[in-house]
Amino acid sequence: VNIEERLMVVEVRQYIQDNILIFDGAMGTMLQKKGLQVGENTEVFGYENPDILVDIHKEYYEAGSNVATTNTFGCNELKLPQGYDLEKVIDSAVKAAKKAASLVNNDNEKYVALDIGPIGEMLEPMGTLSFDRAYEIFKRQMIQGEKSGADIIVIETMMDLYEIKAALLAAKENTNLPVFCTMTFDENGRSFTGCLPESMVVTLQGLGADAVGVNCSLGPDLLLPIVEKILTRATIPVMVQANAGLPCIKCGEAVYDMTAEQFLSGASKFVKMGAKIIGGCCGTNPEFIKALSQNIKNVEVKPIEKNLECVVCSPSKIVEITGPTVMGERLNPTGRKPLQDALISGNLDYVVSLGLDQVEEGA
């Protein structure tokens, strides 16, 4: 399950150049059908029941998935219950997916993706978790995932651009694996922390992501305008994993009423628009992936256009540099004693006022 085995399949970055890469569907949805109880830790359940994980991954591979996503979404040192070794849980999850791949004899290329979700605490300044601490938490997960034989790292369901930057840097600086990054967005076109899809794209592809996109969030139809925005900025493969619509509550449980055929109708539009990586999120199962596998591989995909526009962004604003652009530079403290004193003393009101003055002058 080491480097030699990974070399037996086409390297995933090369595969995406000429093919649609199909991810699996929901893990939590499947685990609940296999006995996971409400409130039970998902990663611990999988660690103690590895054969169940193998069966789930096997079902997805048999349905036509190219990628099995490991049961490690919340497997970090802050979330994992005491008494469980992080490295052992990750290793067990990766090996379950590798075993499932060895049991399926179809002709599909098969990969294992180390699944990395949010840490579970907000980063500064909205929360108390520092960027450096987040980086170290992610780093520990990434290193073990590569040691255990994962082929890809997928960083998913992120809401904060700052947090996904920490995860991406931890992956790129400590492993040699391809890294796919997806965030989750609301109907208003922004993440929970206010990040724009366009800001996500230009930031993450600038930091070396191998694919970027959206997962979870909404059903296929409601994701269309968000995917369109992502595709206008992306110069790397785009990934989409929609939910099976929006859930309704029946008998105290979230139930997804969307059928596999309805999901296919919406998800196939992503491929026609230019997405190269497709799969499912909450509420989807092997039937959904089978529908994708049997119907989208022959869809003609738009080539990725090399967008050479120069842009700068914050999470909540993106500016195209298309000509002469007014840029405020008075927040540079060099040679500005009042600004230096304000920064040293923590007088941010003065700093903000300098910024606002420049905005009012047209910066």
**96 pLDDT exceeds 80?**
yes
Q: What is the mean pLDDT of residues 109-125?
A: 95
Q: What is the mean pLDDT of residues 257-273?
A: 90
- Please state, in angstroms and rounded to a whole number, the distance separating the CA atoms of residues 120 and 303: 37
Q: What is the mean pLDDT of residues 86-90?
A: 97
**18 pLDDT exceeds 80?**
yes
Q: What is the mean pLDDT of residues 151-180?
A: 97
- pLDDT value for 360: 94
Mean pLDDT of the chain: 91
Q: What is the mean pLDDT of residues 338-358?
A: 94
- pLDDT value for 252: 63
Q: CA nearest 45: which of 30, 58, 60?
A: 30
Q: What is the mean pLDDT of residues 144-169?
A: 97
- pLDDT value for 250: 66
Q: What is the mean pLDDT of residues 280-304?
A: 87
Q: State pLDDT tens for residues 230-262.
A: 999 999 999 999 998 877 766 566 677 889 999
- Please state, in angstroms and rounded to a whole number, the distance separating the CA atoms of residues 140 and 190: 30
**343 pLDDT exceeds 90?**
yes
Q: State pLDDT tens for residues 28-67.
A: 989 999 998 888 899 999 999 999 999 999 999 999 999 9
- Please state, in angstroms and rounded to a whole number, the distance separating the CA atoms of residues 121 and 132: 13
Q: What is the mean pLDDT of residues 130-155?
A: 97
Is there a contact between 172 and 207 (Cβ–Cβ < 8 Å)?
yes
**197 pLDDT exceeds 60?**
yes
- pLDDT value for 8: 45
Q: State pLDDT tens for residues 318-334.
A: 988 888 888 899 999 99
Q: What percent of the chain has pLDDT above 90?
A: 78
- In this prediction, residue 310 has a pLDDT band, given cuts at 50, 70 and 90, of confident
Distances, alpha carbon 351 to alpha carbons 47, 81, 162, 312, 343, in Å:
51, 43, 22, 21, 8
Tokens describing residue 227: 């995917």
Is there a contact between 12 and 237 (Cβ–Cβ < 8 Å)?
no
Measured torsion, CA atoms of residues 232, 195, 183, 300, in degrees rounded to the nearest 10: -10
- pLDDT value for 125: 87
The pairing of strands 277-280 and 179-183 is: unpaired
Which of 110-119, 173-182, 305-314 comes out lowest in average pLDDT?
305-314
Is there a contact between 200 and 165 (Cβ–Cβ < 8 Å)?
no
Which of 153-157, 231-235, 246-250, 280-284 comes out lowest in average pLDDT?
246-250
Residues 6+ away with beta carbon under 8 Å from 52: 31, 34, 35, 45, 46
Q: What percent of the chain has pLDDT above 70?
A: 95
**6 pLDDT exceeds 50?**
no
